[in-house]
Amino acid sequence: MSSTADNSSFAAIEPTSSFRQQAWQRFRRDRLAIAGGLLILLFIALASAAPLVVKYGTQHSPFQQHMMDKITVGGKLIDVVDDDGLPVGPNRVFLFGADLTGRDVLSRVIYGGRVSLLVALLATAVSLFIGLVWGTVAAYYGGPVDATLSRLMELMMAFPILLLAIALASAMQTSSLLVVVLIIGFVNWTYIGRIVRGQVLTLRKREFVEAARALGAGDLHIMFRVILPNLMAPLIVYTTLAVAGNILFETALSFLGLGVQPPTPSWGNMIREGMSYYNVAWWITVFPGLAILFTVLAFNLLGDGLRDALDPRLK
């Protein structure tokens, strides 16, 4: 998340068409950012179309949790264990191999991406909402309001976010998708809160804000109809970087057994299930790990490209 600190250097800008054109010209010249964006679109398309793409089951074992030599796929008997009783590795039928109960790893990676991306996107939306409201109110009103809200924000940032998330998950005593989303969103909002506060402190003194106030606009109108559009550049950059961080966060919670619970697949709990057998069935752990690697890398490349394109100091 340290990359988000750079976003505080964004100057206030008017969202004009000429600026958007210049930003697009800068962005389209960044091949790594374009590649990252295309890779993200591919992952989202696969996750969205998972029921159409996936051929095999993801949650329930085709042989009721008992190892068998063969299962029926498309009317044909297919081996799911080798002569040593271990799940088969990557082959023409199971491109990513099978897991310990005969489930197709590729199918579970696709469905796991659906869950991990959904949790990360929703958690980012939660943190954006809290941080945006908190930072805007603190900076706009200033004085005691700013001092109180800023101290509370700093107190929140003093806690290690992973330990705080573990404590909250343990206290909830449940790990539904909604709970995981709320926990991740709650512990990560302080980063965007600081960015927004810094921007609003500058924007509230600009001429267009004073003009809106002179015309009789209320505080809510000024904060969210006048100031907010000038925050879009850093918010867009933060969102892409935050999604990458939240994918890793969800993976860590699921790996520790506090996130998405089996049989619902997520990349984190898939890695957890395969860790005890990585020396004999490496594919169970490696392929979800590669999915995390490429997804996070794609979001970071896209975020860096957007940051460079939307920084008005660049020409």
What is the predicted pLDDT for the residue at 78? 54
Instruction: Give the predicted TM-score (pTM) of the model.
Output: 0.80
State the burial class of residue 233 (Cβ atoms within 10 Å of its Cβ: 0-12, 13-18, 19+): buried
Three-state secondary structure call for residue 11 = coil
Indicate the domain borders of the chain: 2-28+109-310
Nearest residue to 244 (alpha-carbon basis) of 188, 312, 164: 188
User: Residue 84 CB: number of other CB atoms within 10 A?
Assistant: 6
Per-residue pLDDT of the chain (315 residues; tens, 9 = 90+): 444 444 444 444 445 567 778 888 888 888 999 999 999 999 999 888 888 877 654 444 443 333 345 555 555 555 555 555 567 778 887 788 888 777 788 888 999 898 899 999 999 999 999 999 999 999 999 899 999 999 999 988 888 888 888 888 878 766 678 888 999 999 889 988 998 998 899 888 888 888 888 888 888 888 888 888 888 888 888 889 899 999 999 998 888 888 888 778 889 988 988 887 787 788 889 999 999 999 999 999 998 888 888 775 554
For the CA atoms of the chain, what is the radius of gyration?
23
Q: Which residues contact 210 (CB under 8 A, 6 or more apart)?
A: none
β-bridge mates for residue 76, sequence order: 73
Q: Which residues contact 88 (CB under 8 A, 6 or more apart)?
A: 79, 80, 81, 82, 94, 97, 98
- Diameter over CA atoms, the chain: 82
Three-state secondary structure call for residue 98 = strand
Structure tokens at 203: 């924007």
What is the crossing angle of helices 105-141 and 177-203, to 10°?
A: 40
CA distance 97 to 102: 9
Three-state secondary structure call for residue 31 = helix
Please name the residue that has the structure tokens 């966060």. Answer: 249
H or E, element range at 281: none
Q: What is the DSSP letter of 77?
A: E
Is the CATH code 1.10.3720.10 the one for domain 2-28+109-310? yes
Structure tokens at 83: 């002569």
CA distance 304 to 292: 18
What is the predicted pLDDT for the residue at 63? 39
CA distance 169 to 184: 10
